[in-house]
Structure 1
Amino acid sequence: MLSFYRKYWRTAFDIALIVLTVYLIMFAFSYLYRIATPIFLSFLIFLFIEPPARWLCRLGMKKSIAAGISVLVFTLVIVGAFVGAGFIITSQVTTLADKLPTYQKILVEQFQVNASLLEQKVDGLPPGVVDKSQEVIGYITNWGKNLAVMFLKSLGGYLMSFSTFIINFSVGIILAYFLSLEIKEWKQVAREKTPNTFKKAFVFLRDNVFSGIAGYLKAQGKLISITFAVIFVSLLLLRVSNAFSISLLAAFFDILPLLGVGTVFIPWIIYLFIVGQTSLAIWLSVLFLVVVLTRQILEPKITGDTLGVSAFTMLAFMIISLSIFGISGVILSPILMILLKALYDQRYFHRWIHTPKGEFETPSSPVKEPDSIP
């Protein structure tokens, strides 16, 4: 055991140092996000208002007026989208949550009818088996109902409690306006006052991380929009109530790795088959297959291998980040995962982490050392 520690202590120390660095970055970001949420929102808003403001400036308009018009248009669009979508989602989600106990009761009653018919047809089936099965089904459906109600009620509560977000967003819009006016001065200060080490780090992040994240977000936005549109139009044609909220919920799960729209459709389809709504269940099964096949066909063409991080790794890291750092951890986790993947691909980890001698095969050809970064 002592020889094991002697061989691996340096490797363990290097890995622990990298893990500690990642933890400190996550901790610092989560702390700053809590105390300066409007500032982070202002950077995001700035990305949307600056292109129209620059375009208006090129037409001969003063920057202050151009930025004001861009902010006004952006605010009107966002407020209109939030008010309209928030009203529809809140009402439909609340209605759907209130109906879940009724759906659960129908499911149990339908199973009891089917179990009685099965007991009559199969003479050798003991009556106790049917009773036990009913208890199990009742427990499972009740647990699923409670879980779904809790999720939908929480979602509705988040949508209705926008007071803090509205305040932060309003302050963020004001900060984004002033940032648009002063962006040239800030860029000049950054060029003159930033140390070369941080400049190299920024160039590395820009070339290997930010561009990949921007491309990935655009691609996922297109895929999610297609998923939402297909499901929403199909549910309207099938005359399904709460079509908007169901489509939005399916699009939300479509964002998450390893989950997808099957999280909504599979339990729904099983329920419809059990309660005897076979026609709707078949149509939803066809819709589910169409959505899955469409995504499988379009995803390689739209996204390709933008991230290069497996779905399991990304989801696991997001869950851990959410548990430790909250929503700020979820925001930062994709950026850190892409950064770590870029560092690994460019063999920085191979230089930073000392591997024990004799544990790995030596490459036949020398490896080119990467350019130094901090």
Structure 2
Amino acid sequence: MISFYKKYWRTAFDIALIVLTVYLFMLLFSYLYRIATPIFLALIIFMMIEPFARFLNRKGMRKSIASAISTVLFVLIILGALTGAAVIFTSQIMSLVDKVDDYQAVFNDQIIHKISELNDRFQTLPPDVIIKAKEYAGQFAGNASRFIISFLSGLVASLTSFSTFMFNFIVGIILAYFLSIEIDSWKRLASEKTPRTFKSVFFFLKENVVKGIVSYVKAQLKLITLTFVVVFFALLLLNVNNAFSISLLSAIFDVLPLLGVSTLFIPWIIYLFIVGQTTLAIWLSALLLVVILVRQIMEPKITGESLGVSAFTTLAFMIVSLSLFGVAGVILSPVLIILLKALYTQGYFQRWIRKPEDEYAQGRSPSAGP
């Protein structure tokens, strides 16, 4: 054991130092996100309004006027679309919540009916087993309905708590407008006052991380938009109620690695088979297969190498980040994944982490022949 520690302590120390640095960075970001949420929103809004403001400025318009026009258009288009979608989504989700108890009753009755039908056919089940099966079926249906109501109500509550969000959003718009006006002076100040070491770090992040994040976000937006459109029009053709909210939920689930739309569709399909709506269940199964196939075909073409990390690694990192740092951790986790991948690709980890002595053959690969 002592020889093991002697051989690996330097490597363990280097890895622990990197892990500690990542942890402290995420801790700092989560703290700053809590106290300065409008500033982070302002940076996102700035990236949206600045291209059009620069375009108008190049056409001869004053930057202040160009930024004002771009900001007004952003508010009218983006905020208007989001508000309309939120209103429709909230009303449809609330109607689903009101019907969950009815769905539970139908599900419970069908389970009891099928158990009784099986018992009448085979006459092999003891009476106490039948009673217990009916009791467990009722408990399962009750727990499932409570979970669904809690989940949907939580979504509605997050959308309807507008006070804090609207305050942060309005302050973010104002900050983004002033940043758009003053961006040239901020760039000059950063160019003149920033030390060379920090400049090199900034350019490394810009080339290897920022571009990766932008391409990743664009790719995910394209994929979830594709999922939303396919599901929405399919549900309209099938005359399914609340098609918009279900399609929007499918797009939200589609963002989650490893989970996807199956998280929503598979329980729904199983429920339809149990309650006897076989035709709709078959059509939804076909729709799920189409969505999965379309994503499998389009994802490599759209995403390319934007993230380049396995789905398991991404989801595991997001879960740990959510547990440790909340929403800020989920926001930052793709950034850190791309950063760590860039550091590994550029060879920084190989230089920072000292390998154990006599553990790796020098001068040839372990798979090389004698």
Note whether the superposition's TM-score is higher than 0.5.
Answer: yes
Q: C-alpha distance in 1, partners of 2:191/2:363?
A: 41
Deviations 1:33-79 (A, max 9, x none): 11111111111111111111111112221111111111111011122
Q: Aligned residue for 2:64?
A: 64
Please state if 1:55 is matched with 2:58. Answer: no
Percent of matched pairs sharing the same residue: 62
Q: C-alpha distance in 2, partners of 1:271/1:363?
A: 61
AA matched with 1:224: I
Q: C-alpha distance in 2, partners of 1:251/1:60?
A: 41
Deviations 1:179-220 (A, max 9, x none): 111111111111111111111111111111111111111111
**TM-fit CA distance, 1:287:** 0.7
Q: C-alpha distance in 1, partners of 2:209/2:130?
A: 57
Q: Aligned residue for 1:371?
A: none
Moved more, 19-28 or 86-95: 86-95
CA contact (8 A) 1:53 1:67 kept: yes
Q: Aligned residue for 1:315?
A: 315
Q: Aligned residue for 2:233?
A: 233
CA contact (8 A) 2:10 2:354 kept: yes
Report the secondary structure of 1:138's partner residue.
helix
Moved more, 281-290 or 126-135: 126-135
Q: Aligned residue for 1:331?
A: 331
Where does 1:1-374 land on structure 2 (aligned, <5 Å)?
1-364=1-364
AA matched with 1:28: L
**TM-fit CA distance, 1:128:** 3.1
Deviations 1:56-109 (A, max 9, x none): 112221111111111111011122112211111111111112211221111111
AA matched with 2:205: L
Moved more, 9-18 or 260-269: 9-18
CA RMSD after TM alignment: 1.3
Q: C-alpha distance in 1, partners of 2:354/2:11?
A: 5
**TM-fit CA distance, 1:363:** 4.7
Q: C-alpha distance in 2, partners of 1:316/1:282?
A: 33
Name structure 1 gaps, 5 residues minimum. 366-374
Q: C-alpha distance in 1, partners of 2:6/2:101?
A: 61
Change (3 A) 1:364 1:162: same
Count of aligned positions: 365
Q: C-alpha distance in 1, partners of 2:206/2:123?
A: 72
Scaled by the length of structure 2, the TM-score of the pair is 0.96
**TM-fit CA distance, 1:130:** 2.7
Q: C-alpha distance in 2, partners of 1:56/1:75?
A: 17
Q: C-alpha distance in 1, partners of 2:360/2:97?
A: 56
Name structure 2 gaps, 5 residues minimum. 366-370
Q: C-alpha distance in 2, partners of 1:250/1:146?
A: 20
CA contact (8 A) 2:46 2:180 kept: yes
**TM-fit CA distance, 1:18:** 0.5
Q: C-alpha distance in 1, partners of 2:129/2:99?
A: 30
AA matched with 2:108: V
Q: C-alpha distance in 1, partners of 2:243/2:66?
A: 39
**TM-fit CA distance, 1:347:** 2.1
Scaled by the length of structure 1, the TM-score of the pair is 0.95
Moved more, 12-21 or 355-364: 355-364
Q: C-alpha distance in 1, partners of 2:120/2:171?
A: 69
CA contact (8 A) 1:57 1:66 kept: yes
